Amino acid sequence: MHFISTRDATHRATLSETLTRGLAPDGGLYVPADFPSVDPRDAPDGSLPAIAAHMLRPFFAGDPLADRLDTLCQDTFSFPVPLRDIGQQTAVLELFHGPTAAFKDVGARFLASALSHLNEGADQPLTILVATSGDTGAAVAAAFHEKPNVEVVVCYPKGRVSDRQERQLTGWDQNVRTVAVAGDFDDCQRLVKASFQDDVLSGEKRLSSANSINIGRLLPQLTYYAAASRWYAARHGAVPGFIVPSGNLGNAVAALYARAMGSPMRPVVMATNANRSVTDFLDDGTWNPTPTQETLATAMDVGDPSNMERLRHHWPTIEAVRAEVDAHLVTDEAIEHEIRRGPSTWDTIWDPHTATAAAVRARVGGPHWILAATAHPAKFDTVVEPLIGETVPVPDALAAVMARSTPAPVIDPTMEAFRRFVL
Ligand SMILES: *Cc1c(COP(=O)(O)O)cnc(C)c1O
């Protein structure tokens, strides 16, 4: 089982190589050369680590990481991922019980464990660059902090993440450093991408990335969709559809991977915020990335989602894309409406991201839908609390991470400034 670049199918790489490099040398994204056929119902038991190892085994065959697969899956899913029924033949897959209270803990913990292991004995640490719209950076910082053989540089758009997100991003020490960029998320993403083409930086450092451009994010994420489809079928005797709050599309593409590999799943629907490049693409078939627009679901404020390149690689025509996935746009007004009615309608407090999925649930109709719950509402207290008129209790793990905050330096969104900071 090998991986290829979205831009050059003749470029082959092993799992370890793709995880270490992040981006392919030609600037493309790594994708599986083909999808192995794996049914989650054949896993030895129904626990998430067991299903995850079962789903990922073909990708690990013959790789230096092969005998680490079970440990990796246990390290990654060291926290519960409950599938909770909320009535009206709807369930919520709660992906936010990790250290930073968002689903990005999953990919970050998988990568941290894999990369730290792969770099044992190297004479220079691997430098992981992360551009974050809020949750990725925090998850990566928490997952890599104090891990040997790896260091992390996190950059985030100043003033465009929530106060609590910012406190999670800053205040790290030792092998984790954070910088605020005076710009938006696309500026941050551009700086990270350009770093790999930068002769000075790539000469001085061994660079890798932990954004959703790294296939090491998608692989563990596909496993919870596979697991949820098995759990749902066992509980309700029905095949569920999935609604996924989407920004950079890493989580939604992971769901499509799980289904392509043979997990029993009905439609996958992306819920986007007011950033409309994806819904416009599905409507009229032309891909026109738009400038990023700020919304209440900040971690989904992406005008030019990088995983579109993976989506269009696997499903190259608009007809193929439409057959695979649907998308619905949810405005800030609709997000507020869902959060407000969450406690009475679903007995649930939504965060602004998961609220987009709840809004789409009302539109798709029919039974048997699973909503991917991507963040804990306590991370977005300033949005959520005024709408529901009550305080959201902060989970212990989140409180511990936030307690360590100190301000990060701010730089201009230029390569020169970023290079200086990294070096
Ligand atoms: C990152 C994030 C998303 C969007 O996920 P993508 O994989 O980028 O589409 C949704 N919700 C939350 C809370 C996030 O942190």
Question: Which pairs from 375-379 meet CB under 8 Å and 24+ separation?
Answer: 375/96, 375/101, 375/102, 375/103, 375/135, 375/299, 375/351, 376/96, 376/97, 376/101, 376/102, 376/351, 377/349, 377/350, 377/351, 378/101, 378/164, 379/101, 379/102, 379/135, 379/162, 379/164, 379/165, 379/351
Question: Does ligand 1 come within 6 angstroms of the Cβ of 104?
Answer: yes
Ligand 1 centroid to Cα of residue 249, in Å, is: 8
In this prediction, residues 370-378 reach a mean pLDDT of: 97
Question: Does ligand 1 come within 6 angstroms of the Cβ of 255?
Answer: no
User: What integer best gives the mean pLDDT of the chain?
Assistant: 94
Sheet holding 30-32, edge to edge: 8-13, 3-5, 30-32
Virtual torsion, Cα 131, 273, 83, 53, nearest 10 deg: -40
Ligand 1 centroid to Cα of residue 299, in Å, is: 6
pLDDT score of 346 more than 80: yes
Q: Which atom of ligand 1 is nearest to the CA of 375?
A: 13
Q: What local confidence, expressed as pLDDT, does residue 209 receive? A: 80
In this prediction, residue 27 has a pLDDT band, given cuts at 50, 70 and 90, of confident
Q: What local confidence, expressed as pLDDT, does residue 399 receive? A: 87
Which residue CA neighbors atom 2 of ligand 1 most closely? 299
Q: What local confidence, expressed as pLDDT, does residue 32 receive? A: 97
Q: What local confidence, expressed as pLDDT, does residue 161 receive? A: 85
**H helices then E strands: how many in the chain?**
18, 14
All domains in the chain, ordered by first residue: 68-103+216-396 (3.40.50.1100)
Cα separation, 225 vs 338, in Å, equals 24
What's the pLDDT tens digit per position in 63-97?
Answer: 999 999 999 999 999 999 999 999 999 999 999 99
What's the pLDDT tens digit per position in 177-222?
Answer: 999 999 998 899 899 989 988 999 989 998 888 766 889 999 999 9
In this prediction, residue 21 has a pLDDT band, given cuts at 50, 70 and 90, of confident
Question: Does ligand 1 come within 6 angstroms of the Cβ of 248?
Answer: yes
Cα separation, 152 vs 86, in Å, equals 39
Ligand 1 centroid to Cα of residue 135, in Å, is: 8
Q: What local confidence, expressed as pLDDT, does residue 212 receive? A: 66
What's the pLDDT tens digit per position in 95-152?
Answer: 999 999 999 999 999 999 999 999 998 889 999 999 987 778 889 999 999 998 999 9
Question: Does ligand 1 come within 6 angstroms of the Cβ of 299?
Answer: yes
In this prediction, residues 284-297 reach a mean pLDDT of: 93
What's the pLDDT tens digit per position in 230-273?
Answer: 999 999 999 999 999 999 999 999 999 999 999 999 999 999 99
pLDDT score of 23 more than 90: no
Percentage above 90 pLDDT, the chain: 82
Question: Does ligand 1 come within 6 angstroms of the Cβ of 376?
Answer: no
pLDDT score of 378 more than 70: yes
- Which residue of 295, 298, 353, 360 sits with most ligand 1 atoms within 8 Å of its CB, as the best mutation to test the pocket? 353
- Which residue of 97, 130, 135 sits with most ligand 1 atoms within 8 Å of its CB, as the best mutation to test the pocket? 135
Cα separation, 173 vs 88, in Å, equals 46
Select from 58, 5, 18 the least CA-distant residue to 35. 58
Question: Does ligand 1 come within 6 angstroms of the Cβ of 245?
Answer: yes
